[in-house]
Chain A
Amino acid sequence: MQVKDVAYARSGDKGDVVNVGVLALDDAAYKRLVVALTPDRLKKHFGDWVRGDVEVFPMPNINGFNILLHNALGGGATKTLRYDVTGKAFSTALLRMELPE
């Protein structure tokens, strides 16, 4: 199973930081994601596109998480040479992540 099967996600930028908000579809999904969305697993998932730290903030009030990926946009929206200058597709890239059994 992938994150795609249990959650929605939306990403955006603040300078060279990309944030990915994750919304679990129900309580059970939220519990699975607490285990799945660790900074280590996320760092590994995004490979060399994320050069800095990864932070995960739970938002239990909405069964959600906010993930901060530091130094992840090639210098930020105004400077990056990437096609996706504002990091909008980090959301769908996260949806590819496999959930641990």
Chain B
Amino acid sequence: MKKIRLGAGSAYWGDLLEPAVELANKGELDYLCFDHLSELTLAVLQRQKAKDPNEGYIHDIEPWIEATLPQARKQGFKLVTNAGGANPAAAARKVIEVAERLGINDLRIAVVTGDDIFPDLDEMRSIGIKFPNLDTGEEDIDRIRPDIVAANAYVGGDYIARGLAAGADVVVCGRVSDTALFIGPMMHEFGWTYDPKDNDKMGAAITIGHTVECAALATGAVSNLWRQARDPWRPGYPIAEVSEDATAVISKVEGSGGLLNEWTVKEQLVYEIGDPNNYFMPDGVADFTRVKVEEIAPERVKLSNMGGKGLPEKLKVCIGYRDGWEGEGSLMFSWPDAYEKAKRGERIIRERLKLLGVEPIELHFDYLGVNALHGPVAPEPHEMNEVGLRVAARTRTREEADTVKRESTHLWTLGGIGTGYLSPAQPRPSVSLWPTLVPRDQVQMKMTMVETSPVKT
């Protein structure tokens, strides 16, 4: 039975590079897939592109491609990445630059675009399409229209498959779903399609993609079993060995760090999901309540009995919009009476802001060491060695955010005695997300092939 090996080489912008190189060198891969995007990233990248038309992609693409492309060429595996962000064409130019620097001159790069619907929003609205906020229920985007900085549909793996079928060595995408990076190769290799006869196979593809897309998060990172993770400074990233019968074995490079067992795979299965009976992705709806997770050998976990329910009619869209400014500051209060001094510090900041006429849209205090992470679930502490106080505010203007930052520093003198402060972060624009949907037929996907020079025909 035909099998392919897919490696997960990155889970987020700024992830560790060496485990990806380890996968490239020792993973015996057919595909190495990199996820670099989060919900917020596109708003940041669109701003960069607005300032410079050659920007708007994830710069990590350069070291990642440089470190893995030579092995990819030697062994014949393909690279798939969403580092294109808001500007896949510019990212592809960077890949060409890297390839030529490495002396590789017959590289084919598929550029997948169409997810960026920002330029089309007004036209879609003119024909009656509405973009309701799925979190708040607000009916359409009228209120935020002038402040929108990005609007991207989460698209599927079909155009990645097209690029691979056209002979691409590297596929550069924008906002494809994280799972699509893995699903595209499966569609290409196994001939799986969106036809209802393949619903269960696509459900399996989504489940497998979801299981590995967060890289080290399936191999002992963010884990209840953190004590058991070997050499946590060098985690092995996961490999999905997918069979044509829509089962898979999750493994990692022998001798790599981290931890891979039934529990770490289950931890990832339930990570960042909604209704597990209906896990919506652009490539289908997967049912996570059927999958069987089995540890068949040390560091080998089998996924079987996976299923799906067909293609959703609409695609998820993330609209990012400017929503004021954020200013913050952090202080540490010492024994004795650390917590009491910190609480008095909150009062002082509130009074100072009142005195200066600053009215934040939202003002928030975290007590580090007390309840910053567990909030109301945390019990009252006993005597503390030290307590941190973090003040954060969302304001209408940059000046107000700056005032919040400046006022926080005054607590080192006004906050009692024995108080230190951290150099506060600069005020930053606050971007809010508006989760919504768009009819699938409104999103026009495109795959363009570019090549290193000299162009071969």
In whole Å, how far is A20's beta carbon from the nearest beta carbon of chain B? 8
Task: Give the residues from 34 to 64 in chain A that come closer than 8 angstroms, CB to CB, to chain B.
Answer: 45-49, 55, 57-62, 64
From A55, A78, A84, B431 is in contact (CB under 8 Å) with A78
From B272, B377, B433, B435, A79 is in contact (CB under 8 Å) with B433
**Chain A binding surface SS class:** mixed
Query: Is B336 an interface residue when CB atoms closer than 8 A count as contact?
Result: no
Contacts of B393 in A (CB 8 A): 81
Contacts of B270 in A (CB 8 A): 10, 19, 21-23, 59, 62, 64, 66
In whole Å, how far is B207's beta carbon from the nearest beta carbon of chain A? 11
- Flag if A49 contacts B377 (CB, 8 Å): yes
Query: Is A31 an interface residue when CB atoms closer than 8 A count as contact?
Result: no
- Flag if B272 contacts A14 (CB, 8 Å): yes
- Flag if A62 contacts B374 (CB, 8 Å): no
- Flag if B320 contacts A78 (CB, 8 Å): yes
In whole Å, how far is A31's beta carbon from the nearest beta carbon of chain B? 17
- Flag if B274 contacts A83 (CB, 8 Å): no
CB contact under 8 A between A81 and B276, given known A21-B269, A21-B270, A49-B376: no
Contacts of A78 in B (CB 8 A): 39-40, 43, 320, 430-433
Contacts of A45 in B (CB 8 A): 377
- Flag if B375 contacts A93 (CB, 8 Å): yes
- Flag if A79 contacts B267 (CB, 8 Å): no
Contact with A along B358-384 (1 / 0, CB 8 A): 000011101010001111111000000
Query: Is B97 an interface residue when CB atoms closer than 8 A count as contact?
Result: no
> How many A-B residue contacts, CB cutoff 8 Å?
143
Number of interface residues of A (CB under 8 A): 44
A65 to B292, CA, bound (A): 15
Query: Is B392 an interface residue when CB atoms closer than 8 A count as contact?
Result: yes
From B39, B269, B378, A62 is in contact (CB under 8 Å) with B269
Task: Give the residues from 48 to 101 in chain A that come closer than 8 angstroms, CB to CB, to chain B.
Answer: 48-49, 55, 57-62, 64, 66, 68, 71, 74-79, 81-84, 88-89, 92-93, 96
Query: Is B263 an interface residue when CB atoms closer than 8 A count as contact?
Result: yes
Task: Give the residues from 232 to 283 in chain B that come closer than 8 angstroms, CB to CB, to chain A.
Answer: 263, 266-267, 269-277
- Flag if A47 contacts B135 (CB, 8 Å): no
CB contact under 8 A between A61 and B292, given known A23-B266, A96-B374: yes
CB contact under 8 A between A92 and B373, given known A15-B134, A71-B135: yes
From A47, A83, A88, B368 is in contact (CB under 8 Å) with A83
Interface size class of B (residues with CB under 8 A): 35 or more
Query: Is B108 an interface residue when CB atoms closer than 8 A count as contact?
Result: no
- Flag if A59 contacts B289 (CB, 8 Å): yes
- Flag if A8 contacts B432 (CB, 8 Å): no
Contacts of A83 in B (CB 8 A): 366, 368, 372-373, 390
Contacts of B390 in A (CB 8 A): 83
Contacts of B348 in A (CB 8 A): none
A74 to B430, CA, bound (A): 13
A88 to B49, CA, bound (A): 31
A45 to B368, CA, bound (A): 21
From A15, A23, A75, A81, B39 is in contact (CB under 8 Å) with A15
Contacts of A12 in B (CB 8 A): 271-272
- Flag if A81 contacts B135 (CB, 8 Å): no
- Flag if A16 contacts B267 (CB, 8 Å): no
A61 to B362, CA, bound (A): 42
- Flag if A75 contacts B432 (CB, 8 Å): yes
Contacts of A8 in B (CB 8 A): 224-225, 263, 267
A71 to B34, CA, bound (A): 31
Interchain Cβ contacts under 8 Å between A and B, 12 examples: A8-B263, A9-B224, A17-B135, A55-B275, A66-B270, A68-B274, A74-B362, A79-B430, A84-B372, A84-B373, A93-B373, A93-B378
Q: Add 7 more A-B contacts to A17-B274, A58-B289, A62-B293 (CB < 8 A).
A: A14-B272, A62-B291, A74-B364, A76-B135, A81-B394, A84-B373, A93-B373
Closest 7 CB pairs of A and B: A21-B270, A47-B376, A81-B364, A89-B373, A8-B224, A12-B272, A81-B392
